[in-house]
Structure formats: structure tokens, C-alpha cells
């Protein structure tokens, strides 16, 4: 082998050796996919070195390293793929359920009761709903009581709903006023008043959305002409979480375009 050939051999051999050393380091850190790539690159360089005129002993040693690195790369690749499958299997399966009739109220209260850390609600109307009828049975709902208890248990609860304004709500103003007053006096629930809280949804723990046409009233939760959906679809959850937070901070486009600004005015339900 000429001096130039020897110099090239040494350069490529060092490169292959460094790749193998890096592969060992990555493997120790359980970065199996990257380690596999390094072993493959090292083996490819060594294979090319076998094309050069080498002593039999050196040639055999390099050939053995090629086989060793290739086998190691295949093993680490299979480990990486297995772990990827396991991670995917652990991911929550996306589900969506459409609700009709009284099951709207039963599922809504179930979501509220199961919430562990955070509840965000937007509803045009929010009344005291103690029971609903389903299949000739009376089911306790206790909507406000549930929210109050969850708040006392440390769950963060924020609600965007309509102000109890007689011009806005008519005869429903008194039910709205009494509900807001009870929540503010008996719990740590935070409430923002908005004339345009027409979207109706609940986001629980940042993982589940309840949405539909039903207000949180006896009629809405009884499902009289309403429909709702429960989903854990990540896109939908993120959409409604962002929508609520932007409306809460008054930075949503609908807030910027609003001229009434009820949400930032001082307003006391005790003045009703």
C-alpha cells in the first residue's frame, strides 16, 4: 500500500472507529435508533476498506467488525421499533360519543365529577339544576353543588356566562343571577360575564371536551331538542382550550371587535 493509500486508510479507519465509539455512547443512553445509524455508517466505511490490499489478519479483523456492527445495528433498530410500538399503544385512543336526551345531563355531570385539576365552562345560561328525568327515573344532578364541591376540593374552575341582565335574558335573569351569586359566595369559582357567551362547552383537565347546543339549564341538560358530543380528540381539545383562554383574557377576535365590553365593566349581581 502506497503512502497516500496508507494515509487514506488510517483516516477512514479512525472515522469508523469514532462512529463506533459514538454508537456505544448513544446505546448506553438508550438512544437506540441513533446508535444503530452510527453502527451502520461505521460498518459501511469498514466494508470499503476491505477493497484495499490488506494483510489477511487485518482484513479478517475488519471483516469481523463489519459483521459485529451490522448485527448490533439490526438489534438496536428492532429495540427502537418495539419501543415505538409500545409508546403508540399507550397513547389514549381517540373517542367521540354523540349524546341525545337526558344522557346529555348525565354525561355532563359525570365529566364535572371526574375532573381532577381544571374545569373550563362556557354557557350562555347557567341555572341551578338539581335533577333530570331519564327513562321514567329521577336522576340527581346537583349542578351548582357539584361545581362548589369540586372547587373546595382544589379543582380550578372558570366560567364564562351571560350577565343577569333583564334586557338580555328576560325572565331568565333571576335564575341566572341566583346561580352566579351562589357560586361566587360559596366557592372559589371564577366567573367572567359576557353578552356573547353563545358557545356551549366544557373542557375538563385539558383532555376531554363536552360540546353541543345544550345550555347548563334543566331544559338543556334534559336534552329537550339538544345534542352534545364528548370527545378526547387532541385537536378539538386544544381548539376549545385556546378559545376559552383567549376569551377569558379578552384577546380573541370576537373580544377585540366587541363594543359592549361587559366583561371588563364592574358588575355586581347583588345590585339586581
180 and 69: one domain? no
**CA 7/CA 24 separation, integer angstroms:** 26
Residues 26 and 120 in one domain: no
pLDDT tens-digit map of 142-186: 999 999 999 999 999 999 999 998 888 999 999 999 999 999 999
Residues 266, 133 within the same domain:
yes
* More confident call, 63 vs 268: 63
Cell numbers 489478519 correspond to 57
Last residue of some domain: 90, 124, 157?
90
Report the CATH number at residue 33. Answer: 1.20.58.80
The set of cell numbers assigned to 175 is 335564575
State the Cα torsion 241-256-189-197 to the nearest 10°: -80
Query: Count of domains in the chain?
Result: 2
Residues 22, 113, single domain; the answer is no
Q: Are the beta carbons of 216 and 121 closer than 8 angstroms?
A: yes
Last residue of a domain, one of 62, 90, 118: 90
Averaged pLDDT for residues 202-206: 96
- Please report the pLDDT score of residue 270 as a whole number: 44
> Cell digits for 268?
355586581
Q: Which domain holds residue 183?
A: 96-271
Q: How far apart are CA 107 and CA 226, in angstroms?
A: 14
Residues 86 and 107 in one domain: no
Q: Give the Cα separation of 214 and 201 in Å (integer).
A: 9
In terms of pLDDT, which residue wins out, 147 or 261?
147
**Are both 130 and 221 inside the same structural domain?**
yes
For β-strands 208-212 and 201-204, DSSP reports them as antiparallel
* CATH number of the domain bearing residue 118: 3.30.870.10
Residue 128 · residue 178 · CB < 8 Å: yes
Same domain as 242, residue 128: yes
Residue 59 has pLDDT above 90, yes or no: no
Length of the chain equals: 272
Domain stop point among 90, 112, 143: 90
Confidence of residue 271 (pLDDT cuts 50, 70, 90): very low
9 and 32 inside one domain: yes
Task: List Cα–Cα distances, 21 to 33, 42, 67, 99, in angstroms.
Answer: 15, 10, 16, 59
pTM above 0.75, yes or no: no
Residues 112 and 235 in one domain: yes
Alpha-carbon gap, residue 122 to 198, rounded angstroms: 8
Exposure of 174 by Cβ count < 10 A (0-12 exposed, 13-18 middle, 19+ buried)? middle
Cell (9 digits) for 105: 345531563
For 52-56, 161-165, 199-203, 236-240, which range has the lowest pLDDT when averaged over its residues?
52-56
Distance (Å) of CA 252 to CA 11, 157, 255, 258: 60, 20, 5, 10
Would you say 131 and 223 are in contact if contact means Cβ atoms under 8 Å apart? no
Q: How many CB atoms lie within 10 A of CB 65?
A: 18
Domain identity same for 125 and 259: yes
Looking at residue 94, what is its pLDDT? Answer: 86
- What local confidence, expressed as pLDDT, does residue 86 receive? 78
Task: Let me know whether 84 and 103 are in one domain.
Answer: no
Q: Is residue 173 a contact partner of residue 269, using CB atoms and an 8 Å limit?
A: no
Average pLDDT over residues 31-58: 89
Q: Is 232 in the same domain as 139?
A: yes
Arithmetic mean of pLDDT, 35-55: 89
- Residues near 59 by beta carbon (within 8 Å), at least 6 away in sequence: 50
Element (H, E) at 146: helix 143-152
Amino acid at each position: 500500500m502506497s503512502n497516500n493509500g496508507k494515509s487514506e486508510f488510517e483516516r477512514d479507519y479512525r472515522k469508523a472507529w469514532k462512529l463506533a465509539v459514538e454508537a456505544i455512547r448513544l446505546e448506553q443512553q438508550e438512544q437506540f435508533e441513533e446508535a444503530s445509524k452510527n453502527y451502520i455508517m461505521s460498518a459501511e466505511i469498514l466494508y470499503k476498506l476491505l477493497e484495499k490490499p490488506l494483510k489477511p489478519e487485518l482484513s479478517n479483523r475488519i471483516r469481523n467488525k463489519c459483521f459485529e456492527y451490522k448485527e448490533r445495528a439490526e438489534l438496536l433498530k428492532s429495540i427502537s421499533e418495539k419501543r415505538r410500538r409500545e409508546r403508540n399503544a399507550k397513547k389514549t385512543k381517540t373517542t367521540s360519543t354523540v349524546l341525545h336526551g337526558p344522557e346529555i345531563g348525565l354525561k355532563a355531570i359525570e365529566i364535572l365529577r371526574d375532573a381532577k385539576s381544571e374545569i373550563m365552562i362556557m354557557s350562555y345560561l347557567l341555572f341551578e339544576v338539581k335533577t333530570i328525568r331519564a327513562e321514567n327515573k329521577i336522576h340527581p344532578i346537583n349542578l351548582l353543588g357539584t361545581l362548589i364541591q369540586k372547587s373546595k376540593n382544589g379543582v380550578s374552575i372558570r366560567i364564562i356566562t351571560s350577565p343577569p341582565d333583564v334586557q338580555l335574558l328576560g325572565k331568565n335573569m333571576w335564575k341566572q343571577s341566583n346561580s352566579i351569586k351562589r357560586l361566587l359566595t360559596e366557592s372559589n369559582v371564577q366567573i367572567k360575564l359576557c353578552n356573547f357567551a353563545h358557545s356551549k362547552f366544557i373542557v375538563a383537565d385539558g383532555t376531554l371536551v363536552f360540546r353541543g347546543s345544550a345550555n347548563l339549564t334543566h331544559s338543556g341538560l334534559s336534552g329537550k331538542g339538544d345534542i352534545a358530543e364528548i370527545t378526547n380528540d387532541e385537536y378539538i381539545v386544544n381548539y376549545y382550550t385556546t378559545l376559552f383562554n383567549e376569551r377569558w383574557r379578552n384577546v380573541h377576535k370576537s373580544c377585540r371587535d366587541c363594543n359592549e365590553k361587559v366583561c371588563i365593566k364592574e358588575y355586581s349581581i347583588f345590585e339586581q
